[in-house]
């Protein structure tokens, strides 16, 4: 792999993403965990930009950092769950560590490296200079032959989620 | 450009970190955060495959957008359930809420 | 690679923009006096001593607002591309958008009727 | 040497021409742009603080700053000097890192917006293809900074204030984004430069004054200005999320707020009143800066005037106003605008790209849109009046005692 500015930026964003992820699962204080989660999600947004999907990157910031992270922090505060927490891991944490590590190795050795890794036919795959834009995404969403059904179903799903969450979260009245 | 497998590598690592969080944490909110990490890993994969394999078919981006929706719905309902459990049982430790286990 | 050039600007911008607001804070660290004592460091609550945990429990209503906001925010994933491509779409697109917005308005109406939007 | 005249945009070319490494030249030109764009708002904010204080003073029949420098213009420097030399108190139990980062993030989130502000046909930090969305996304980071500040202070008032602020900010983001969709739909692009150029023939405020109004109200609430200034409700929250902050960090929160107001005025000018567009702007691009800042200043002063003349509303009213009025109206407006726009397009009233700058060609479309908007406004006002009348009637029936109270000239409002 050649050593250019693109790969350096990729490396930085990967480290941010994975470092934030590690911080999220290991931090004792849940608010710190949420901050780490935000850092990690920023890294993912950066990866989206490198992948020429700036719209998804902006949505990532808007939805995850602007809304989901806020919601998680609200929930942490509402349940006072960051205080009085002596033990953050359950009894099976060592087993979980092994399983997760095994899963990673399995994914890497079993799928990623043999199919897309260096030396395979897919490794030479070069992305095209031109890519579809956000306008194409909009056209695809409302095209009767493409994704108009998922488009409406998404709305339905959100409606259902909102109604359900309100019913569950509200006090008895 | 960075080869595709490096994106897949990062996504797999993030997925496993998230999975570890889900398996090992006791706090329900922390478990939800782990799930968010896993969903993000999936999104990296979707967008990376879209970019490298079919940059002119929008399925990759549409799927990623759908994952956003699912993640949001999951977070909203999941956190609502956690708040509700906390109200009833004064705890967000998942092991304390094993009423259906026996 | 014009696209990445624009984003390179944003990247450098994010890296540099910190410096200017951080500068006065760092500067003041050198010139300001530093005489801490226990009473000065106390949490400020109108002169009365703090009672109990700071993280008192909050109204669930904050969460409900966050929830409704989240739903409308995620909706933007679909509405922005829709609005962006709107000029080159036919009337069907208006109908699709209308149904989409209508379904979400349902959720808002539900929340309204259940008094979930009331502060009290 | 032709390309060296406009130094900011062709800095890289000039450097390369004088024998520098192209990659380095590219980087240096980006760095120059970044430093300029990041410095600009901070220079402006020094002046803005003076304007704000002077204006508030005049409204309240005071003189305002008038000692340091001519007309008190140097007052801000004196303030900054004072703030820098103030002792900085970090309360016991505060989360040090987050506590120190929060004010900086809150300023950075405003400065970042300036990267996509087009100040002339040629000058823009980065003309992103998603500029409008970038503005919203970056704004949501400011919300996070407030949350962090409130939490890390380890203070009940700060946390309560932060909760309220965040609830307010996220709520008003919904109508903001809905009204933002309208110019994006008209222009068919999210690039800020593209949105400005799409208004060559007709400003978008004419096409949809309602969207512009909602956008203005939402930005007013987003910056926490009166009548939505629950963020710093001194009488109920002591100070809100920044209660524990002192010295320069406290100052940064306010600098960020002042800057945010002006930035939002600029964004409003760009989205709805044509940004840098004006006579002869293509011949002399520098004029664009003057046009943009002139337009922005008008909306800035309007915002200042609202802030200084309106009382604060209660938090339940604040939330009801957003969810039961602004959001439904912005949704209805979006649907109406989308419908009319498509109809206008289908019957061919919209001028093509060949006469995009023709004012008269846009007139029929503008009239239809304007009439549609006015009709919606009338309907909404009518509905409001009915709701109000019903509320008054219900009040009169349930509490007859109120009628007597209302007759007395100095009766206190009855709490409910």
Q: Write the pLDDT tens digit of every residue in D157-191.
A: 778 888 888 888 888 999 999 999 999 988 888 88
Our answer on whether B and D touch (3+ beta-carbon pairs < 8 Å) is no
Give the residue from D320, D310, D330 showing the smallest Cα distance to D391. D320
Contacts of B83 in chain C (CB under 8 A): 60, 63
Nearest Cα of chain A lies from the Cα of C72 at a distance, in angstroms, of: 9
Fold exhibited by the domain A1-82: 1.20.120
Dist. CA C23–CA C17, nearest whole Å: 11
Nearest Cα of chain A lies from the Cα of B42 at a distance, in angstroms, of: 11
The pair phi, psi for residue B25, each rounded to 5°, is: -75, 155
**Interchain contact, A139 vs C68, CB within 8 Å:** no
Give the lowest-confidence range in C63-67, D297-301, D380-384, D406-410. D406-410
Contact residues, D window 76-135, toward A, CB-based 8 Å cutoff: 95, 98, 128-130, 133-134
Give the lowest-confidence range in C37-51, D234-248, D305-319. C37-51
Residue position matching structure tokens 């709805």: D272
3-state SS string for chain B: CCCHHHHHHHHHHHHHHHHHHHHHECEHHHHHHHHHHHHHHHHHHHHHHHHHHCCCCCHHHHHHHHHHHHHHHHHHHHHHHHHHHHHHHCCCEHHHHCHHHC
Domain range summary for chain C, segments of one domain joined by +: 60-113
Question: What pLDDT is stored for residue B39 in this prediction?
Answer: 92
Q: What is the DSSP letter of D18?
A: T
Neighbours of chain B (3+ CB pairs under 8 A): A, C
Residue position matching structure tokens 């502060």: C119
Give the residue from D356, B16, A42 showing the smallest Cα distance to C14. A42
Question: What pLDDT is stored for residue D61 in this prediction?
Answer: 87
Question: What pLDDT is stored for residue D410 in this prediction?
Answer: 46
In total, the C-beta contacts within 8 angstroms joining chain C to chain D are 213
Question: What pLDDT is stored for residue D401 in this prediction?
Answer: 53
Domain range summary for chain B, segments of one domain joined by +: 4-94
Interface test with A, best of B8, B23, B81, B84 (most A CBs within 10 A): B23
Helix, strand, coil distribution of chain A in percent, nearest 5: 75, 0, 25
Question: What pLDDT is stored for residue D44 in this prediction?
Answer: 86
Measured between CB atoms, which of B3, B44, B80 is closest to A168? Answer: B80
pLDDT in tens, C15-64: 888 888 888 888 888 887 777 777 767 776 666 666 566 555 667 788 88
Under CATH, to which class is B4-94 assigned? mainly alpha
Residue of C nearest to A70 (CA): C66
The reported pTM is 0.89
pLDDT in tens, B42-79: 999 999 888 888 888 888 888 888 899 999 999 989 98
**Interchain contact, D140 vs A66, CB within 8 Å:** yes
Contacts of D170 in chain C (CB under 8 A): 65-66, 69, 73
pLDDT in tens, D27-80: 777 788 788 888 888 888 888 888 888 888 888 888 888 888 888 888 888 888
Contact between D130 and D195 (Cβ < 8 Å): no
Domain range summary for chain D, segments of one domain joined by +: 24-381
Residue position matching structure tokens 């917006």: D113
Residue of C nearest to A74 (CA): C63
- Residues whose CB falls within 8 Å of the CB of residue D245, separated by 6 or more in sequence, listed in order: D103, D149, D153, D253
**H or E, element range at D55:** helix D22-59
pLDDT in tens, D86-105: 887 777 777 888 888 888 99
Q: What ipTM was reported for this prediction?
A: 0.88
């Amino acid at each position: 792999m050649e050593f250019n500015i693109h790969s350096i930026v990729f490396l930085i964003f990967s480290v941010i993403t994975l470092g934030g992820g590690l911080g999220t699962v290991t931090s004792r204080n849940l608010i710190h965990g949420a901050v780490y989660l935000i850092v990690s999600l920023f890294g993912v947004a950066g990866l989206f930009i490198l992948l020429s999907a700036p719209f998804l990157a902006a949505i990532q910031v808007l939805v995850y950092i602007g809304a989901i992270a806020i919601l998680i922090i609200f929930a942490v505060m509402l349940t006072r769950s960051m205080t009085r927490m002596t033990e953050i891991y359950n009894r099976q944490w060592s087993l979980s560590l092994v399983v997760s590590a095994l899963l990673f190795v399995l994914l890497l050795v079993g799928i990623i490296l043999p199919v897309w890794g260096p030396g395979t036919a897919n490794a030479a795959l070069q992305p095209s200079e031109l890519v579809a834009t956000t306008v194409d995404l909009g056209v695809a969403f409302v095209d009767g032959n493409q994704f108009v059904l998922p488009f409406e179903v998404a709305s339905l799903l959100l409606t259902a989620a909102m109604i359900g969450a309100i019913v569950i979260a509200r006090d008895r009245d | 450009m960075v080869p595709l497998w490096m994106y897949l590598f990062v996504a797999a690592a993030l997925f496993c970190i998230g999975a570890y969080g889900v398996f090992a944490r006791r706090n329900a909110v922390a478990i939800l955060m782990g799930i968010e990490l896993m969903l993000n890993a999936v999104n990296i994969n979707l967008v990376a495959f879209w970019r490298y394999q079919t940059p002119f078919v929008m399925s990759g981006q549409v799927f990623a957008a759908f994952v956003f929706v699912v993640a949001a719905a999951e977070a909203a309902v999941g956190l609502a359930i956690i708040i509700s459990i906390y109200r009833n049982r004064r705890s967000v430790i998942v092991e304390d809420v094993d009423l259906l286990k026996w | 690679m014009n696209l990445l050039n624009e984003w390179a600007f944003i990247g450098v911008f994010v890296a540099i923009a910190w410096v200017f607001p951080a500068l006065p804070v760092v500067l003041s660290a050198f010139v300001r006096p530093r005489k801490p004592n226990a009473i000065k460091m106390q949490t400020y609550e109108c002169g009365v001593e703090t009672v109990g945990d700071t993280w008192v429990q909050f109204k669930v209503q904050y969460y409900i607002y966050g929830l409704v906001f989240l739903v409308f925010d995620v909706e933007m994933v679909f509405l922005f591309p829709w609005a962006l491509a709107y000029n080159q779409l036919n009337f069907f697109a208006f109908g699709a958008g209308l149904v989409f917005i209508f379904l979400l308005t349902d959720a808002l109406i539900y929340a309204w009727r259940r008094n979930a939007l009331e502060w009290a | 040497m032709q390309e060296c005249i406009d130094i900011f945009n062709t800095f890289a070319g000039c450097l390369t021409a004088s024998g520098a490494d192209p990659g380095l030249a590219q980087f240096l030109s980006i760095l120059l742009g970044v430093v300029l764009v990041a410095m600009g708002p901070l220079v402006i904010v020094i002046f803005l603080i003076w304007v704000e204080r002077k204006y508030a003073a005049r409204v309240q029949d005071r003189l305002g700053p008038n000692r340091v420098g001519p007309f008190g213009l140097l007052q801000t420097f004196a303030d900054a000097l004072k703030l820098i030399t103030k002792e900085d108190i970090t309360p016991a139990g505060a989360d040090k890192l987050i506590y120190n980062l929060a004010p900086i993030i809150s300023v950075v989130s405003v400065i970042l917006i300036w990267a996509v502000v087009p100040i002339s046909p040629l000058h823009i930090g980065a003309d992103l293809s998603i500029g409008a969305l970038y503005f919203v996304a970056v704004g949501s980071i400011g919300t996070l900074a407030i949350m962090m500040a409130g939490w890390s202070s380890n203070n009940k008032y700060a946390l309560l204030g932060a909760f309220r602020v965040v609830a307010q900010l996220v709520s008003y983001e919904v109508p903001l984004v809905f009204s933002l969709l309208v110019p994006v739909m008209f222009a068919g692009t999210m690039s800020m430069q593209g949105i400005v150029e799409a208004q060559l023939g007709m400003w978008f405020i004419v096409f949809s004054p309602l969207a512009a109004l909602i956008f203005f109200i939402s930005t007013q609430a987003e910056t926490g200005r009166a009548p939505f200034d629950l963020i710093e409700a001194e009488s109920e929250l002591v100070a809100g999320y920044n209660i524990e902050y002192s010295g320069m960090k406290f100052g940064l929160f306010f600098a960020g707020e002042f800057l945010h107001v002006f930035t939002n005025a600029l964004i409003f000018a760009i989205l709805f009143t044509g940004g840098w567009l004006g006579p002869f702007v293509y011949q002399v691009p520098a004029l664009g800066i003057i046009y943009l800042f002139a337009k922005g200043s008008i909306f800035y002063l309007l915002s200042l005037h609202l802030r200084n003349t309106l009382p604060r509303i209660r938090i339940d009213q604040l939330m009801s106003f957003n969810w039961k009025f602004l959001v439904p109206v912005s949704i209805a407006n979006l649907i109406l605008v989308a419908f009319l726009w498509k109809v206008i397009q289908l019957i061919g009233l919209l001028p093509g790209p060949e006469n995009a700058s023709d004012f008269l060609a846009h007139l029929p479309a503008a009239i239809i849109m304007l009439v549609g908007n006015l009709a919606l406004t009338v309907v909404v006002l009518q509905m409001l009046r009915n709701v109000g009348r019903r509320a008054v009637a219900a009040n009169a029936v349930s509490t007859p005692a109120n009628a007597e109270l209302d007759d007395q000239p100095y009766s206190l409002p009855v709490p409910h």
